[in-house]
Structure 1
Amino acid sequence: MSKATSLQELSNQNEFIGRHIGPDAADTELMLKQLGLDSLEQLVEQAVPESIRLNEAMKLGGAVSESDALAELKEIASRNKVYKNYIGQGYHDCHTPLVIQRNVLENPGWYTAYTPYQPEISQGRLEALLNFQQMIIELTGMDMANASLLDEATGAAEAMAMAKRSNRVNKSTVFFVDEQSHPQTIEVVRTRAGFFGFELHIGPISDIAKTDCFAAYVQYPGTDGEVPELKSLADALHSKDAQLIVGADILSLVLLESPGAQGADIVVGSNQRFGIPMGFGGPHAGFFAFREAHKRTTPGRIIGVSIDSRGKQALRMAMQTREQHIRREKANSNICTSQVLLAIMSAFYAMYHGAEGVKRIANRVHFATKVLAAGLEKQGYKIRNSSYFDTLCVEVDDRQQALMQRAVDSGINLRAVGKNAVAVSLNECTSEDDIKDLLSIFAGSGFSDVFEKLEDLAASIEAIPPALLRKENALQHQVFELYHSETDMLRYMKRLESRDVALNLSMIPLGSCTMKLNATAEMVPVTWPEFGKMHPFAPLDQAQGYLELFEQLEAMLATCTGYDAISLQPNAGSQGEYAGLVAIANYFKANGESERDICIIPSSAHGTNPATAHMAGMKVVVSPCTIDGNVDIEDLKAKVEQYGKRIAAIMVTYPSTHGVFEEDIRDICALMHSIGAQVYVDGANLNAMVGLAALGEFGGDVSHLNLHKTFCIPHGGGGPGMGPIGVKNHLAPFLPSHPLQEVKGTKLENGVISAAPWGSASILPISWMYIRMMGKEGLTDATRYAILNANYVAEKLKEHFPILYTGKQGRIAHECLLDLRPLKASSGITEEDIAKRLMDFGFHAPTMSFPVAGTLMIEPTESESLAELDRFCDAMIKIREEIADVESGKLPQDNNPLVRAPHSLDDMLEEWDRPYSREEAARPLPYLHDHKYWPYVNRIDNVYGDRNLLCSCPSIDNYADEV
């Protein structure tokens, strides 16, 4: 054993890198031996083309320990000033029930799960999301709701597109927007409308009846507080075959008549007020509710009720599963993620408080607003809005600036409206003392009235017209009445958690999804109040900590990718794709090259790529791949010859979606650049490159970076995500802007992609922590081990399952495709059968039938140890043996462990008449004797679910066995 010679030497032995990377030195030696190699460097030389490899190490700092990184970030966070915020505009302070914070937001059983594409091992999340849909349906008064979108502004833009897509009668291209809509929503809609060829008409809602439009968007209540009557607007629009879209405040819907009851066709909004921290803009779930007639054209995901093979109720994603990969540029939307974790939290918030509890919170906020209004009117101020829920627009003449300054000096943020008014939006956290403080600010001196007298005055104020008061209470389904004690809530959440497979149970070997360690030290800062309680539109001098974090993270990401500038605004990979193509389109427009309207996309691309190109107003031209899975260079040359300077961009994934580093990537980039076209490199597979190659260095002009893949933000069951973009210098002036905060170096005409200026800002500390704790050496090693682990798995499995594609020297990148088509031909066993059988071994399936039908795509990531890799490989090899028994006739094709998988406890308790034993069904390998995950349901009937579509909570009788 070697001895350290100094305290400094011991201090420099950073342990985090070894905790993030699964294999230790002994494991590495064994794995390299399996591959017939002497070193990791030798593997990199065989897998990564020399033409793209970096010649020197990244210019990042060295690794620091967990405690040092947390201390450094805490010092940065301390520069944020957490004031009382009454800014409103879609963001409000609220209380996150601690039982939800500790057991969901801070619980890896919830935040490390993957999108529920494999529903049998996702029943907990699916039930929580069904509860969310039920909550939204009841509050909005609509027929159906999806399982969330990215934010409220995205929801409004998606609603606009859906309204036009679903209406074949109204030929107008005008979209009306209420001038009282939130500014960020207007700008996101404006950006999207421009590329769809829609004309935006922004005006007072009184203009709706006389405007020829295909749909209108109305804020309810308006951004300055007024509560509009919606029924007459809906009637006027319906009379001309146009639709009413309503942007609704979720807490106000507890008291206000629902938009659905007033005739709305689509209702969108944000769940933030239901227990989700403001987080300087996110993440928050956008809700999206609609009439049943729209169910086939709605964006996002819908959770539906079906049955399993035993007839037991089971949940699944209905209709649109992986829609983009099927319909591509004809997809309803490019949204491939949602905000599952945040949607679930808000549903639990509603369940924990129940109908009466949520109504009490809403009434308290509303009554506090009336008290404030009474006090202000006694001081002689005029309230501009005649009706309100929680927001007052107060006319202050020339006192605006002095009043705003007085508020800031008291640690309070208000909102300026024009030059002679101030808006005040109260919230769940507003206390009696807070109201007194506000009245003192407006008075210019201490509060001097008798508070009880103001309460008496408030009781007589009718701030919501009787016609607009909700007639029946919302949240009447019994699921909202079952779990009000903390004990019951805790047990319910644990029960749902135990039905799912997440990273805290086993590896999730999904190709192209990079389900790696989300370290606890990375997650801790997310719930620090210095990050969580910041309003996204607070004055920037109060957000110096956030600005420092952004600046450092942007520099880190630029260094990791070889790009010159970064935008942190896109809050999902799909949003990043869109932001990148919008930047390209604006670049060509500025250069007078608006004729460039073609985007070339290889046939192997992610399905979101063609959908995004369509949304950005481009025409998609598909380029085929060669027999070895690479982009067909000759075909690409022919397309360049055919379309010339009509080509705006190519979207290429690197390493390819087929799991290899294409040797010709520099030539592809050079070919595009030779005609002035731009190269968009999809950053989904960046985990195979950081420290070894750089997107911007070998020819990329723009890329989105999935922080929820390469940079450790957890997937959260299908969201949150972050998709910043990196660009070269010439595209930097065209990065997304924002109407309410200065985003340096951008102009508003560039467009706005997300509701908040820096996207889901409160989860960016996760990636900062990861990069800081890994340093340049750790990040490069992570890439090397991602490649090692993938090649090790491929080597162990190749004798049992053919590897479809390999690189020039027989190596893969960070993922591999198993070709199951020959096995299907010889045995009848499908990739779905194997996916379901893996559940009996305690594993989530690899990516199924993408990018090639009849395949499984495996990505083990660098975080999995040799023991876990071997456990997975043993499971796959055992499955191959079972397939061989089917091939030989030892097991029948229609009654074997694969076609009847997964096996539940219900199976074990029934009379057994199968040609294989219970032990073979449930514990096919010895390790399952020590710990066994039981799928909660058997295989789900997808056809039944779509034919009998039910997307709200069933009768409470279905919960009887759980109470």
Structure 2
Amino acid sequence: MSMDRLTTLEGHDEFLARHIGPSAAQQSEMALAAGYDSVESLIDATVPSNIRLTNPMALDGPQREVNVIARLKAMAAQNRICKNFIGMGYYGTHTPAVIQRNVLENPGWYTAYTPYQAEISQGRLEALLSYQQVIMDLTGMELANASMLDEASAAAEAMTLTQRVNKKNKSVRFIVDSDCHPQTLAVLETRAEPLGIEIVHGNATQLLQKGDAFGVFIQYPGSSGNVSDPSALIESAHAQNTLVVVASDLLALLLLKSPGELGADVVVGNSQRFGVPMGYGGPHAAFFATRDSYKRSTPGRIIGVSVDRDGRPALRMAMQTREQHIRREKATSNICTAQALLAVMAAFYAMYHGPAGLRQIAERVQLLTGALASALRSSGVTVLNSHFVDTLTIASDDQRESILARAEAQGVNLRCDNAETLGVSLDETTTRADLALLIEVITGESLSVDSLDVESGIPDDLYRDVDYLQHPLFNEYHSETEMLRYMRRLESKDIALNRSMIALGSCTMKLNATTEMLPVTWEGFGAIHPFAPIDQAAGYAELLTDLERMLTECTGYDAVSLQPNAGSQGEYAGLLVIKRYHESRGDRDRNICLIPSSAHGTNPASAVLAGMRVVIVECDAQGNVDIADLRKKAEQHSKHLAAIMVTYPSTHGVFEEDIVEVCQIVHEHGGQVYVDGANLNALVGLAAPGKFGADVSHLNLHKTFCIPHGGGGPGMGPIGVGAHLQPFLPSNPVVPVPGLSPDNDVVSATPYGSASILPISWAYIALMGARGLTQASKVAIVSANYIAHRLRDHYGVLYTGSSGTVAHECIIDIRPIKEASGIGEEDIAKRLMDFGFHAPTMSFPVAGTLMIEPTESESLAEIDRFCDALITIREEIREVESGRWSLEDNPLVNAPHTLRDLTGEEWAHAYSRKQAAFAMDSLQQDKYWPPVSRIDNVYGDRNLFCACPSIDSFRESTQDEPSLG
């Protein structure tokens, strides 16, 4: 027997068949049903020939799962885990094992989608509401959102909010105190310049006396660790009609008076040290808290309490839900995501420890810091801050090199971002042994820590009582048994990918394979500080370099930046790169961004943030860019044309055949082409934006490249660019990106954004290889066309290409149905919950429609089950059209149906209980019960309440439900 047989056997473990749902035979069957004799003929008819790749991608072949894990372990092992005392917003923390295993490593939490369909998202909405309560309690503010991308971008959002809401001060100056984190200052400066905001950096008190400003930014405690009372500064600022943003730290706020009590207008920071690993920079849930009067200007998502149809408490996203898709270029922020999974972890961390446990953690850290300060002073070391919580700054003088040499030898990382001082930050993981080690490293002497005096550190007038987290939620789940069961109850309320297909168009809810997810919680990736010396992150360097190579090959570009940590942030970063490119050529007046009317709402919002003026290009009746209108607008604005932003395949789910011409027209007039990478799942291996004429794209790694959506975040939005744009990619002032100037724009706090989730995408590409990635794109297209075929006789398919096919998603038109029956897209969306499905994307990009994307990962059986559900629902609509069921009483307008509805003593409906709950036989085997009835959105917006209600209201809302699973 030859070795060829061994090769065949080794290939049997190929990952491709595990990621792609339909078998090869089923793929052919689906293509045949759609009217094509093979998969290849369907792809040839769908993807324009003038953009097709002629050669396969230069990627390695598919690797076995065991080999990928081995390779990733080898990379993680190259990262040197040292004792990190760097601080600067990133700290060691202990993730409670019950939270790590049952949330961070649990697909029931990490594969859920953003809670736009609130009735089937009550579990994570409750967890996010609890997160908001944590932030409101600790900051002392009236309102908090459900998290932001990172602390630095939250600070930038706070800056622009203060400018928007400050009606009494029209200054363009924003003061940033000198004692703030350097990465935050860099992001503020990047955000300010295109918006015409003047950043003034220095001593905030002195600068406020010298000139007018609409806002001032201070850090409390300061980046140096110094603790001082900011109330006098805040009072002085308010006297000048200047609003105050305070950046703070949750652990410090367990001991210090809250910024709200001291008069702050906005408070931002990072919840990372509440149980979330550092992960070389992220993902972490930043927080944003402000006054209630600013609620309608607050960026991001706010979870609010409303009521359902029966008047029972129910949760939903309030007001900010997809604001960009409504207000577009008038949106106040381009942020359309959050860090939901990490916010959930932080909330559970607070619950698990409770106020007393959290206080003990903070006091222990503070006592250790006080002991360190005392020991250093007694040894003649100059400690520059007399008041502190967990961070000290010391004058290094002529001992600097000796201290750093001892630190290197002992595997200790100190903060050393200037030549005169060194910083040391302690955290939850610091031990007595670490304290002794620090004393030896800094002083060169060995001391017994048990005999040390302890400095108090906190001024008496700033010391805080335990006046926070008194809600029962933070006082009932301290045993692991109760915590475990509480998290399980919340998980069971939601629909995630581990339960059923989530057919969200434009959102690509594909398999997030367990093998891809495993490295996220490895210490070798999680315990690395983002500002650690680069020689300690050799494994990360290898992974990041290789991932950049993979992504350039997948997209046809020449370079990639991994810094943007959301798709919207990728858009912003890409447009900034275009802006800097034009400026480098002397074209400072190029500020027009052409955007098709069908574009994602974040596109125009991002363009405005980048300092551009949006001009809308119309679409034709088929949903394609109107070439004639594009020519007209490009010629009209030729001297000022900066870019066009176009999504490909189009937002309407079609491969536009004129995309090459679109690129040529814009280039003829000196503009750059930005191709939104939201729909890259239909392109990889078939066509590449960098090859058919685009200059830059952002890549939604949480869509095409398998980073899970996390119930509303994390995401990643790296950008790919042509060689001419590479010099302008974002860098970082603390740890510059190799090959780039540290003075480049900065869009995230750390050089590589949410670095710890990048192994997911690396693993996906390695497991699939060039052939697998290409086949995934083909199957995504085949599956969408199969769904369009199955539904065509029941719902109108709104847009198709010239061949009559769709791309990887299809839009079904509900408007004629609503006109004939009164039943709309929302009724269908809610009725799908009774069938155990999350609704497709509703009313985007066209109002009154549903956009369906099956992805390549769904099996034929699941796709058929989904189609059967929609067909059954269409038959129910016909019963309304015929008059058998009234418009006021039918299974659709009453959907979703809870177990409480079905088990009540009375049933006053014209349809049966069986019709309500078990309209398909398959539901008898596995039934999901929506935990609440249809939610009253209007009530929730008119009565915004974003704190945890009385625990009794939750008990009352569920006491009659024997099961929520």
The structural deviation recorded for 1:3 is 11
- Describe the SS at the equivalent of 1:296: helix
Corresponding position of 1:163: 162
What is the match of residue 796 of structure 2?
802
Q: Which residue of 2 aligns with 1:744?
A: 738
Instruction: Report if aligned partners of 1:407, 1:413 keep a CA contact under 8 Å in 2.
Output: yes
The offset of 1:350, in angstroms, is 0.2
Partners of 1:282 and 1:451 in 2: CA distance = 34
CA distance in 2: counterparts of 1:208 and 1:641, whole angstroms:
46
Is 1:879 aligned with 2:873? yes
Residue type of the partner of 1:452? D
1:279 aligned partner: 279
Corresponding residue to 1:696 among 690, 693, 705: 690
- Whether contact under 8 Å (1:400, 1:416) holds in the other structure is no
Aligned to 1:109: 108
Match of 2:963 in 1: none
Partner residue in 2 for 1:401: 401
Distance 1:893 1:652 in 2: 40
- Sort the Cα spacing of 1:751 and 1:417 in 2 relative to 1 into closer, same or farther, 3 A: closer
Return the alpha-carbon distance in structure 2 between the equivalents of residues 355 and 836 of structure 1: 39
In the alignment, structure 1 residue 249 sits paired with structure 2 residue 243: no
Equivalent position of 1:924 in the other structure: 919
Which residue number in structure 1 is paired with residue 134 of structure 2? 135
Distance 2:112 2:357 in 1: 30
Deviations 1:728-749 (A, max 9, x none): 0000000001001120222233
Q: Structure 1, residues 31-71: CA drift from partner, whole Å, max 9, x if none? A: 12212222211111011000100011011110000000110
Q: 1:774 aligns with which of 751, 768, 771?
A: 768
**SS across alignment from 1:934:** coil
Instruction: Provide, for residues 650-707 of structure 1, a one-character-per-residue CA deviation record: whole Å limited to 9, x for no partner.
Output: 0000000000000000000000001110000000000000000001000110000000
Residues 401-434 of structure 1, C-alpha deviations (whole Å, 9 max, x = no match): 2211211110110111532321100000000000
2:176/2:199 contact within 8 Å kept: yes
Query: Aligned partners of 2:2 and 2:880: how far apart in 1?
Result: 58
Letter in structure 1 aligned against 2:536? Q
1:451 offset after TM fit, Å?
Answer: 2.3
CA contact (8 A) 2:175 2:208 kept: no
- Residue correspondences, number: 956
**Distance (Å, rounded) in 2 between the aligned partners of 1:679 and 1:953:** 46
Partners of 2:398 and 2:417 in 1: CA distance: 12
Q: Distance in 2 between matches of 1:757 and 1:196?
A: 23
Work out the CA distance in 2 between the residues paired with 1:548 and 1:887.
Answer: 62
Give the Cα separation in 2 of the matches to 1:620 and 1:25. Answer: 45
Deviation of 1:478 after TM superposition, in Å, equals: 1.7
For 1:324-374, what per-residue CA distance to the aligned partner results, in whole angstroms no more than 9, with x for missing partners?
Answer: 000001111100110000000000000000000000000000000001111
Distance 1:348 1:826 in 2: 48
**What secondary structure sits across from 2:297 in the alignment?**
coil
Q: Aligned residue for 2:150?
A: 151
- Residue 206 of structure 1, CA deviation: 2.5
Alpha-carbon distance between aligned partners in 2 of 1:469 and 1:951, rounded to the nearest angstrom: 28
The answer to whether the 8 A contact 2:736-2:742 is kept is no
Correspondence for 1:311: 311
Q: Which amino acid aligns with 2:64?
A: S
Matched residues, percent identical?
Answer: 60
Q: How many Å separate the matches in 1 of 2:937 and 2:955? A: 24
Which TM-score applies when normalising by structure 1? 0.98
Q: In the TM superposition, what are the counterparts of 1:134-213 in structure 2 within 5 Å?
A: 134-210=133-209, 211-213=211-213
Letter of the 2:330 counterpart = K
Q: Find the aligned partners of 2:160 and 2:125 in 1 and give their Cα distance.
A: 27
- Alignment partner, residue 720 of structure 2: 726
Give the match for residue 631 of structure 2: 637
**Alignment check: 8 A CA contact 1:14 1:63 kept:** no
Amino acid at match of 1:114: Y
Please tell me whether the aligned partners of residues 733 and 743 of structure 2 are also in contact (alpha carbons under 8 angstroms). Answer: no
3-state SS in 1 of match to 2:637:
helix
Q: Which stretch of structure 1 is more off in the superposition, 374-383 or 247-256?
A: 374-383
Alignment of 1:22-171 (within 5 A): 22-171=21-170
820-829 vs 32-41, which deviates more?
A: 32-41
SS state of the match for residue 6, structure 1? helix
Task: Name the CA distance, whole Å, in 1 between partners of 2:185 and 2:521.
Answer: 30
2:253, 2:672 → 1: CA distance? Answer: 46
Of 450, 453, 461, the residue aligned with 1:452 is 450
Give the structure 2 partner of residue 374 of structure 1: 374
Query: How far off its partner does 1:529 sit?
Result: 0.4
Q: Which residue of structure 1 aligns with residue 951 of structure 2?
A: 956
Q: 2:547 aligns with which of 538, 549, 553?
A: 553
Amino acid at match of 1:876: L
Contact 1:847 1:856 in 2 (8 A): yes
CA distance in 2: counterparts of 1:501 and 1:800, whole angstroms: 26
How far does the alpha carbon of each residue in 1:847-881 deviate from its partner, in whole angstroms, 9 at most, with x for none? 00000000000000000000000000000000000
Counterpart of 1:933 in structure 2 is 928
For the Cα contact (< 8 Å) 2:827–2:893, is it kept in 1? yes
Q: Distance in 2 between matches of 1:165 and 1:595?
A: 25
Match of 2:673 in 1: 679
Contact 1:583 1:750 in 2 (8 A): no
In the aligned structure 2, how far is the partner of 1:620 from the partner of 1:450?
Answer: 65
Secondary structure, counterpart of 2:467 in structure 1: coil
The secondary structure found in structure 1 opposite 2:276 is coil
Provide the C-alpha distance between the structure 1 equivalents of 2:756 and 2:466, rounded to a whole number of angstroms.
Answer: 37
1:523 aligns with 2:512: no
Partners of 2:635 and 2:669 within 8 A in 1: no
**Residue 853 of structure 2: aligned partner:** 859
- Give, in whole Å, the separation in 1 of the partners of 2:449 and 2:89: 29
Q: How many Å apart are 1:555 and its aligned residue?
A: 0.2
Asked if the contact 1:648/1:677 (under 8 Å) is kept, the reply is yes
Superposed, 1:459-470 pairs within 5 Å as 461-470=455-464
**Higher mean displacement: 739-748 or 613-622:** 739-748
Is the 1:586–1:750 contact (alpha carbons within 8 Å) kept by the matching residues of 2? Answer: no
Find the residue that maps to 2:233 and give its secondary structure: helix
Unmatched tracts of structure 1, length 5 or more: none
TM-score, normalising length: structure 2: 0.98
Cα distance between partner residues in 2 of 1:168 and 1:620:
25
| Cα separation, 2, equivalents of 1:742 and 1:230 | 32
Other-structure match for 1:786? 780
Matched, 1:850 2:844: yes
- C-alpha separation between the residues in 2 aligned to 1:897 and 1:627? 34
Equivalent residue number for residue 622 of structure 1: 616
> What CA deviation, in whole Å up to 9, does each residue of 1:541-586 have, x standing for no partner?
0001001101000000000000000000000001100000000001
The amino acid of 2:451's aligned partner reads K
**Which residue number in structure 2 is paired with residue 294 of structure 1?**
294
Aligned to 1:812: 806
State the alpha-carbon separation in 1 of the partners of residues 502 and 8 from structure 2. 37
1:272-325 deviation digits (Å, cap 9, x = unpaired): 000000000000011000000100000000000000001110000011111100
Give yes or no for the alignment of 1:665 onto 2:659: yes
* Maintained 8 Å contact 1:149/1:338: yes
Query: Contact 1:91 / 1:278 at 8 angstroms: preserved in 2?
Result: yes
Q: Distance in 1 between matches of 2:425 and 2:270?
A: 16
**Runs (5+) with no aligned partner, structure 2:** 960-965
**CA–CA separation in structure 2 for the residues paired with 1:588 and 1:629:** 31
Looking at structure 1, the residues matched to 623 and 504 of structure 2 have their Cα atoms a distance apart, in angstroms, of 19
Tell me, what secondary structure is at the counterpart of 2:416? Answer: strand
Aligned CA distance change for structure 1 residues 286 and 487 (closer, same or farther; 3 Å): same
1:821-840 equivalences under 5 Å are: 821-840=815-834
Q: Do the aligned residues in 2 keep the contact of 1:254 with 1:473 (CA within 8 Å)?
A: no
- 1:347 is aligned to 347
Equivalent residue letter for 1:92: Y
What amino acid sits opposite 2:471 in the alignment?
Answer: H
d(CA) in 2 for partners of 1:865, 1:53: 27
Q: Equivalent residue for 2:491?
A: 497
Q: Equivalents in 2 of 1:718, 1:743: separation in Å?
A: 28
Instruction: Tell me which of 928, 939, 942 is aligned to 2:937.
Output: 942
